[in-house]
Amino acid sequence: MNAADLAGYLSTPLAIGKKTINGRMVLAPMAGLGHVAFRELVAELGGFGLLFTGMCSAKAVPRENPAVSMVFRWRNRELPHTVCQIFGADPDVMARAARRIEQEGFFGVDLNFGCSVAAICKKGCGAALLKTPVKAAHIVTSVRKAIQIPVFVKFRTGWSDDPLFAADTAKRFEDAGADALTFHPRVAPDRRNRPPKWDIITQVQNAVAIPVFGNGNLFTREDGIRMLTQTKCQGLSLGRMAVARPWIFARWTREAGFDDTVYHRTARRLLELLGQHYPPPFNLKLFKKFAPYFCANFKFSLFLLKQLNQAKTMDEMKQAVDDLFIPCPETLSVPNLNLFV
Ligand SMILES: Cc1cc2nc3c(=O)[nH]c(=O)nc-3n(C[C@H](O)[C@H](O)[C@H](O)COP(=O)(O)O)c2cc1C
């Protein structure tokens, strides 16, 4: 497979439940990064099949006011290609949240069974559910019964490095009614410090007939080609690299070319969109979450990040972005992964 083959494959439609998507490269759910402003930026650049929201609390979703909520917020135009992710531990609560998400018009609902952050696992949510796969499957069944739109499950290898457990659990989720899986082959609570074991993606995809989106350490186009050919997964889910280079979907699926001005333009556009969607100082805080991934693109990444972090207002940040990124500083072919937290 070469770059043109990759573009061709990633542009092949994929059936998910009763719906079909036009591209197989999706934005992974990322709390604090995949907000409505960032999704609008990615939508303008194009090339993706779906965008996932960061995780939303299933308890909060039924009563949440999108005009006030910082997380459960969207543009109506993005609903047909956006999947809302929820976390929770109670099947009824998860079903109620899923109903609201369906009513609002999202493409689908994604169940977070992968987050290994202590605050989430302590409440029995996220990856904690992989300790009780029967209970996790109950949640899938309950959500499946509640809605017609596609149900996705995002999960990881589990709490021990056992490919058989991952494959069995995938089958369990499929039998419970999941329409697609996103699989991140890392053990909890392993964050992102050790490389993911892509071989386990193969076993998970082999265990089910529904599509699996492979996830974890997709940085270069060669990585994308390797994951697809090696694991036979049916789609790619990109997290941190899509934050560093939001045009990566257009690059990989349409072979779109971008000159170096894309870096400055992207940072400036995100600042503008953050200003439209969020009040200060929250919008500045969100830009500072994006900044490490963005600065990782450059040779002097740490210096650039330090400069950006000094900005105290959105106007200061705009000035810093102009000063630092025109002309474009020296870039790296693979970003400085030390900044990919
Ligand atoms: C800042 C950050 C926030 C994340 N939040 C979520 C989340 O809300 N839900 C989720 O399922 N995964 C979350 N993830 C995990 C990503 O979806 C993805 O599995 C992980 O980053 C590995 O993919 P990558 O190597 O392409 O980044 C988060 C990751 C990061 C870096």
Nearest protein CA to atom 30 of ligand 1, as residue: 30
In the reported structure, the alpha carbon of residue 157 is separated from the centroid of ligand 1 by a whole-number distance in angstroms of: 14
Nearest protein CA to atom 14 of ligand 1, as residue: 30
Nearest protein CA to atom 29 of ligand 1, as residue: 30
Pocket test residue of 27, 30, 48, 57 for ligand 1, highest count of atoms within 8 A of CB: 30
Q: Provide the H-helix boundaries in 255-339.
A: 261-277, 282-295, 301-309, 314-325
State which ligand 1 atom lies nearest to the alpha carbon of 54: 8
Write out the catalytic residue numbers. Answer: 115
CA 159 from centre of chain:
22
Pairing between strand 82-87 and 151-158? unpaired
In the reported structure, the alpha carbon of residue 39 is separated from the centroid of ligand 1 by a whole-number distance in angstroms of: 15
CA 220 from centre of chain:
17
Name all residues whose Cβ lies below 6 A of ligand 1. Answer: 28-33, 54-55, 85, 112, 114-115, 154, 184, 215-218, 238-241
Q: What pLDDT does residue 319 have?
A: 98
pTM above 0.95, yes or no: yes
Nearest protein CA to atom 28 of ligand 1, as residue: 30
**CA 310/CA 326 separation, integer angstroms:** 18
Q: In the structure encoding, which two tokens stand for residue 97, read together?
A: 């949240």
**CA 281/CA 137 separation, integer angstroms:** 40
Per-residue model confidence as pLDDT tens for the chain (341 residues): 999 999 999 999 999 999 999 999 999 999 999 999 999 999 999 999 999 999 999 999 999 999 999 999 999 999 999 999 999 999 999 999 999 999 999 999 999 999 999 999 999 999 999 999 999 999 999 999 999 999 999 999 999 999 999 999 999 999 999 999 999 999 998 766 788 999 999 999 999 999 999 999 999 999 999 999 999 999 999 999 999 999 999 999 999 999 999 999 999 999 999 999 999 999 999 999 999 999 999 999 999 999 999 999 999 999 999 999 999 999 999 999 999 97
In the reported structure, the alpha carbon of residue 191 is separated from the centroid of ligand 1 by a whole-number distance in angstroms of: 10
**CA 224/CA 219 separation, integer angstroms:** 8
In the reported structure, the alpha carbon of residue 239 is separated from the centroid of ligand 1 by a whole-number distance in angstroms of: 6
Q: What pLDDT does residue 191 have?
A: 67
Q: What pLDDT does residue 280 have?
A: 97
In the reported structure, the alpha carbon of residue 327 is separated from the centroid of ligand 1 by a whole-number distance in angstroms of: 31
By the 10 Å C-beta count (0-12 exposed, 13-18 middle, 19+ buried), 67 is classed as: exposed
Q: Which helix (H) or strand (E) holds 110?
A: strand 108-113
**CA 176/CA 131 separation, integer angstroms:** 17
State which ligand 1 atom lies nearest to the alpha carbon of 218: 26
Nearest protein CA to atom 2 of ligand 1, as residue: 30
145: left (phi > 0), else alpha (psi -120 to 50), else beta?
alpha
